A and B are shown apart, each in its own frame.
Chain A
Amino acid sequence: GAVVSQHPSRVICKSGTSVKIECRSLDFQATTMFWYRQFPKQSLMLMATSNEGSKATYEQGVEKDKFLINHASLTLSTLTVTSAHPEDSSFYICSARERAGAPYRPYNEQFFGPGTRLTVL
């Protein structure tokens, strides 16, 4: 249980194009989803927090117009990297938190997707 999927797992695109990454909670409803970015040999950095049906909250230094986040349902959040540049090449990881009161799993735990490796040429 508590499976989070991401699609695609790997994407290569040309500079200037936009890329959409999907994050799905497969067996639970995620009221909150988080997006992280990880550069080589570094730790995960939180980019933004999104609550279902609300606008995302971005961390300081993350451009909201460049990294568009949509959390339209309790099982799906998308991250769109607009006008991608080589410096946006990174490992993007989503994480989902279950709705409060779920009976079979600890409340407030975060479950992580497998990550999406983006390479911008």
Chain B
Amino acid sequence: DAKTTQPPSMDCAEGRAANLPCNHSTISGNEYVYWYRQIHSQGPQYIIHGLKNNETNEMASLIITEDRKSSTLILPHATLRDTAVYYCIVRSRSGNTPLVFGKGTRLSVIA
């Protein structure tokens, strides 16, 4: 699976949009971009995933560049409960490979 690069940490003011970038320049055609987050001392929580089109759900939006070499996770109105480590993972949707976690981005939402 392709490797991803994320900034180690970011701050965001409460109520503002949090934009978390991820680079995945070696992504291949059948690989999806997944986002998970981990709140302190809990298991990872699925947020969203996409292939090439932008995606939106009740938690977040995922913007994938046209060349698919990078993406941005957007939390439209960040709250204190969104403080967590956010992981961007690239993986083929088929097959049996497990999710492999990098270091992620530690997002701190500040009141």
Contacts and interface: CB of A to CB of B under 8 A. Distances in A.
Interface of A: 4, 6, 32, 34, 36, 43-46, 49, 91, 93, 95, 97, 106-115, 117
Given A44-B44, A91-B41, A110 B99 contact: yes
Contacts of A93: 43-44
A44 B94 contact: no
A110 B91 CA distance: 12
B43 A43 contact: no
Q: Is the interface of B mostly helix, strand, loop or mixed?
A: loop
A106 B1 CA distance: 19
Given A43-B103, A43-B104, A110 B41 contact: no
Interface in B86-101: 87, 93-96, 98-101
Given A43-B101, A44-B44, A107-B93, 5 more contacts: A36-B101, A44-B101, A112-B36, A112-B46, A113-B43
B98 A115 contact: no
7 contacts: A44-B38, A46-B100, A95-B99, A109-B46, A111-B46, A113-B43, A115-B42
A34 B98 contact: yes
Nearest to A46: B98
Interface residues of B, number: 22
B93 A114 contact: no
A6 B41 CA distance: 13
A116 to B, nearest CB: 10
Given A32-B96, A108-B93, A110-B98, A115 B104 contact: no
Contact of A112 (B45, B49, B96): B45
A43 B88 CA distance: 12
A112 B93 contact: no
Interface in B41-64: 41-46, 49
B76 interface: no
B43 A112 contact: yes
